[in-house]
Structure 1
Amino acid sequence: MGALMMHVCLVAALGAYLCTAAPVLGGLQVFVTPIVSVRRGHTTTLPCWLNPPESAEGLEVRWFRPDQFDSPIMFYQKKKFQDSSQKASYVGRVSFGLKDAASGGLTTGDLSLKLENAMIEDAGDYTCYVSSDQGYDRASASLIVTEMGTSPLLSAEWKEDHMVNLSCESVGWYPEPSLRWSDQKQVLTPESLKNSKDSSGLLSVHSWLLVSSSTEVSCTVGVSNEESKEARVHLENHPQPEFIQSSSSSVAGWVAFALLLIAMLVLLGVLCYKKERYMFHLR
């Protein structure tokens, strides 16, 4: 029987997405959830299913990355997993998952991919491909892998004319984080903003700006659709250079006093020793 050709691009309920120009599996269509997000090191599921629902136990199911059809992440054929051509970095981390709690798995056409211990390298596009002797269909989804970095670290350096050079730094983010300065009234424009990547692929951000020494300033760092982290400083409550200098003088004074006290105790000890010797000779 000849394969039925369809060209369709649909957005269904709950964000399901299909865009295909392939022979359809006897009227069946493949749907996916277009975007899935997961925290690095966690487990997630990329939903993929047949519509209308039908058992997929006898079908060929292949999940693969772009341009890697022959090195699939997961390959199911003849009712068992075919591991010989599986992409090495996914060995032991992938299996069939459930798109929701009510799913019946393969018997109801659920082809979802379960991915464990998500890594930065896993981010990107995935294709869910299904075929039989009646044709094939496919749909693609994007996986976003995120990592929360450290809380911003603020440091201040006092300048002339009551100005302060504020620095903000945060490390260990993915993808590239945004950094925003603000005071009580408005968003502030930084003098500098730099991003860098470490050997593990995680990103850091560093920025600085000049502000008045009487300002309350916050630095907020985060990635899209994830919780952000903030640090805040009340500059008017921090020591000015004059205060720091007077504090240093005070410390020096205490050191001098301690040295004088030690010298007096030593002198007193010597006098007591001489007195004891004098009394001993009188006997």
Structure 2
Amino acid sequence: MKASEDSRSLRFFETVLELKEMHSGLGLTLLSVAVLTVPIPAQPVPETFTLNVPDGPISSKSGSSISLLCQVSPTFNIEPFEVKWYRFDEVNKPTLWYKDHKIQEAIMDPRFKGRVSLTGGLERGIASLRLERVTLEDSGEFVCYINNNNWYEKTCVVLAVSVIGSQPVISVAEARGGGQVNVTCSSEGWSPQPKVTWRNKEGTEITNGQEVQNTTDSQGLVSVSSWLLFSPSESDWLSCIVFLSDEWKTEGRILPVLPGGDYKKGFTVNQVLLVVLPVLFLVIIICALCFIIVFKRKGQIDQGLNVAETKRLIKENPVQSPANQTTSDNKDKLEENPVQSPANLTTTDNKDKPEENPVQSPANLTTIDNEDKPEENPVQSPANLTTTDNKDKPEVQSPANLTTTDNEDKLEDLLLGKKVKEEHITTDAKTASLAIRLSQKGKRVQYVKAKDKPDLQQSIHVLGNKGFDSGQHYWKVKIQDDDRKEEKLAWYLGVTKENAQCPLTPQNGFWVLFYEKEVGLHVYVDSVKTPTRQTTPTTVCVFLDCDKHTLSFYDADSGSLLYTFNDVKTTDTLYPVFSPGKRDPQPLKIY
């Protein structure tokens, strides 16, 4: 067959050359068509082949996606072949089965349905297995099996799944003697067993007195605890890092403060300034206010005394006032017109008017009557009060006014200035963790731990039913009821992207404010736990400004600012996130 095709092609080329002599343009066109129509033989399928897979285990993080490579050698099209992936000891329950040019889903393992696919391209001899949302149960050996009815090959690929545990919880207790404190760092939910290291503010590793203990639960997850003796005067910060590798790690920081807020060995300069400067600033403001008030009152009293003294002199000497005596020309006028008032003589332009009309007009009498009114109010006359009060009001501020001016971040001023309406948000039950119980209206979020099996989830939260990508929005969450005496031990609030993954950091799409009783309020900055103001609000207001890319948290009772994220930059829609924590059953209530 191939010799016949070559003979026909040769005769066609000879015809093209003859036509080329008649018309070169037409000949070139036909020559191109002839070259394109010459059949290219398909690559033959070899009688035998081998499979290429990675030499060692493939590592993956829980919740991520991974591809298990499997490729035939030599390379050829394996679309007509049978391709099967299965667990090492479960050949009858294939993870994925490709046959007759399609996926056979009928007998696939239910655990992998919707999570597996073939990738790489069968036409290029690649039959790699793509596995989505990897779990710890996926760890182990997977077999790649390829068959063409004449020859088959199979080989194993090992998958090692790692689980990143919870963020470290750090607490401080007093040690016996020596001016040191006992710092404890705990984290749970790891696989395999992690390592723990302590570092100070300068990044130097601390090893003195360190102890580590590991425990494994029934699911194979490891909890780690470490103790360290530490002197508070050695560093401002103390860091606990739990890690599997440089990429897979969590870190927590804490100020080595004893319960009650005191250091075992005095205070640092920064801490003293942090306390003294605000108090000094407040004292200066109060002294300035007192000085202004006293100065104003003293000026009013002096002015009233001067007015009273002038009236007394006028009454004792109705003919001449001190103002009349300062001008020699007016002195003679008074002798001719003893009835005139000092007000008439103080103006030079009115010198001659008393001679023409020695009897005063009603207008003059009105002026005299008005001059007697300061006796009723010796501090200021009505005219003076009108001018002085309007002039001095902006200069004098009450302490309430100064408080509003100094706290520009007050919640009430911010919301009124921006005219933002409160969002009425409920929870989306489809996004709730298994350990969360929601009320019928979706306004109450409570943690409920199942008794029959341990909770393996790293994050316990639920998303709101509304998402935002523009404008300003705020909502309020009740943390602690007034009638409850028990303090809520842990919670976190904020916003997140719809498909964000753990850990709960801005880099992974979580902008949240955390609370833990031993640590207080804190956030994650560059994946590092950073404490904020050490207050415990009962109601938190969350304010999201999508246009300015900011997220702020306020104490809704006092209106004070708790923390602001200034770099909430994302093109995705942001959803409110609510977590009651997993340390107590007290619920969160959404307004």
- The bucket for the TM-score relative to the shorter chain is 0.5 to 0.7
In structure 2, the partner of 1:211 is 230
CA change 1:242–1:51 in 2 (3 A) is closer
CA change 1:90–1:242 in 2 (3 A) is same
* Segment of structure 1 superposing worse, 175-184 or 127-136: 175-184
Question: How far, CA to CA, are the matches of 1:140 and 1:224 in structure 2?
Answer: 26
Deviation at 1:225, TM superposition (A): 5.7
* Structure 2 gap ranges (5+): 1-45, 268-591
Q: Residue type of the partner of 2:230?
A: V
Residue in structure 2 matching 1:224, options 245, 267, 273 = 245
Residue in structure 2 matching 1:163, options 153, 156, 180 = 180
Q: Check whether the contact 1:155–1:166 (CA below 8 A) recurs between aligned residues.
A: yes
Q: Check whether the contact 2:208–2:229 (CA below 8 A) recurs between aligned residues.
A: no
Aligned length: 213
In structure 2, the partner of 1:263 is none
Question: How far, CA to CA, are the matches of 1:188 and 1:139 in structure 2?
Answer: 49
Q: Check whether the contact 1:215–1:234 (CA below 8 A) recurs between aligned residues.
A: no
In structure 2, the partner of 1:39 is 61
Deviation at 1:176, TM superposition (A): 2.9
Deviation at 1:120, TM superposition (A): 1.6
Residue in structure 2 matching 1:82, options 104, 112, 125 = 104
Deviation at 1:62, TM superposition (A): 1.2
* Structure 1 gap ranges (5+): 1-24, 99-104, 245-283
Q: Check whether the contact 2:233–2:265 (CA below 8 A) recurs between aligned residues.
A: no
Q: Check whether the contact 2:232–2:265 (CA below 8 A) recurs between aligned residues.
A: no
Q: Residue type of the partner of 1:191?
A: E
Whichever structure has more helix as a proportion of its residues is 2
Structure with bigger RCO (C-alpha 8 Å, 6+ apart): 1
Q: How does 1:98-247 map to 2 (within 5 A)?
A: 98=120, 105-159=121-175, 160-182=177-199, 184=204, 186-188=206-208, 190-197=210-217, 202-216=221-235, 217-224=238-245, 226-233=247-254, 235=256, 239-240=262-263
The answer to whether the aligner puts 1:92 opposite 2:114 as a matched pair is: yes
Whichever structure has more strand as a proportion of its residues is 1
Q: Residue type of the partner of 1:195?
A: T
Overall identity of the aligned pairs, in %: 31
* Segment of structure 1 superposing worse, 215-224 or 59-68: 215-224
Root mean square deviation, CA, Å: 2.9
Deviation at 1:35, TM superposition (A): 3.2
Question: How far, CA to CA, are the matches of 1:225 and 1:154 in structure 2?
Answer: 21
Q: Residue type of the partner of 2:62?
A: R
Question: How far, CA to CA, are the matches of 2:133 and 2:205 in structure 1?
Answer: 42
Q: Check whether the contact 1:38–1:146 (CA below 8 A) recurs between aligned residues.
A: yes
Larger radius of gyration: 2
Residue in structure 2 matching 1:27, options 25, 34, 48 = 48
CA change 1:189–1:158 in 2 (3 A) is closer
The answer to whether the aligner puts 1:55 opposite 2:77 as a matched pair is: yes
Deviation at 1:113, TM superposition (A): 0.5
Deviation at 1:82, TM superposition (A): 2.5
Q: Residue type of the partner of 1:220?
A: I
CA change 1:225–1:75 in 2 (3 A) is farther
Q: Residue type of the partner of 1:40?
A: S
Q: Residue type of the partner of 1:97?
A: T
Deviation at 1:61, TM superposition (A): 1.2
- TM-score (normalizing by structure 2): 0.33
Q: Residue type of the partner of 2:262?
A: P
CA deviations on 1:19-43 (whole Å, 9 max, x unpaired) are: xxxxxx7332111234333332232
Question: How far, CA to CA, are the matches of 2:197 and 2:241 in structure 1?
Answer: 5
Q: Aligned to 2:233, what secondary structure does the other structure show?
A: coil
CA change 1:42–1:187 in 2 (3 A) is same
Question: How far, CA to CA, are the matches of 1:241 and 1:111 in structure 2?
Answer: 64
